Amino acid sequence: MKVAVLATDGVEQVELDRPWQALEEAGAEPELVSLEAGTIRTYDHIDPSEKRTVDAVVSSADPDAYGALVLPGGVINGDFVRADADAVAFVKAFFDAGKPVGAICHAPWVLIEAGAVRGRRMTSWPSLETDLRNAGAEWVDEEVVVDGTLVTSRKPDDLDAFGAAIVEQFAMDHDEVPADA
């Protein structure tokens, strides 16, 4: 399965690298989709870190080419991605198609912008609790939350559970998942 990993400058490096590794170890093919071609700069919280090469630009990426989507966190990343109309439309297309999506830390900001959180049980970095509740989600403080095809997690400390949950969710046959799951 080809998995889109949507991120831009300011992405939390560990939240990009660890899910990527979990996907590769499970036999998936992650691709870095970003706002612009070239490279993006990862961050270690608020400190610039390493660069990563972009595989596809979101404005021309086809959501139908991917079986699932991962949204890593990072304050800067989450804010930049949610402000990009092409990125928001890309994310919305995964929900419209019933494809699995994983989001950690500040990435649920993007889900709010895509109109994908109302009525869902989910988690995030704690500072997003009010934003998610105001957008109609049931926010809980748990390591990982699976609501239908959506997997959310809070922070880097939860990456083992997040990686395991996205691998399990992405491996499911979602044609058999009830619409209200």
Query: Each residue of 156-172: pLDDT tens digit?
Result: 999 999 999 999 999 98
Q: Give the pLDDT score at 138.
A: 98
Average pLDDT score over residue span 10-34:
98
Q: Give the pLDDT score at 174.
A: 59
Could you tell me the CATH number of the domain that includes residue 80?
3.40.50.880
Q: Is there a domain that residue 124 lies in? A: yes
Q: Give the pLDDT score at 177.
A: 41
Report which secondary-structure segment, H or E, holds 5.
strand 2-6
Q: How many domains does the chain have?
A: 1
Which tops the pLDDT comparison, 176 or 77?
77
Q: Is there a domain that residue 81 lies in? A: yes
Q: Is there a domain that residue 181 lies in? A: no
Catalytically annotated residue among 52, 99, 106, 155: 106
Q: Is there a domain that residue 126 lies in? A: yes
Task: Assess contact for 83 and 53: CB atoms under 8 A.
Answer: no
* Mean pLDDT, all residues of the chain: 95
- Domain extent for 122: 2-175
Task: Using the predicted structure, report yes or no on whether residue 11 has a pLDDT greater than 80.
Answer: yes
Q: Give the pLDDT score at 180.
A: 41
**Gap between the Cα atoms of 138 and 52, Å rounded:** 34
pLDDT tens digits, 31-89 = 999 999 999 999 998 999 999 999 999 999 999 999 999 999 999 999 999 999 999 99
**Gap between the Cα atoms of 173 and 9, Å rounded:** 33
The burial of 76, by beta-carbon neighbours within 10 Å (0-12 exposed, 13-18 middle, 19 or more buried), is given as middle
Task: Assess contact for 67 and 170: CB atoms under 8 A.
Answer: yes
Alpha-carbon distances, residue 172 vs 49, 79, 102, 126 (angstroms): 34, 30, 14, 29
Active site residue 106: yes
Q: Is there a domain that residue 135 lies in? A: yes
Q: Beta partners for 52?
A: 40
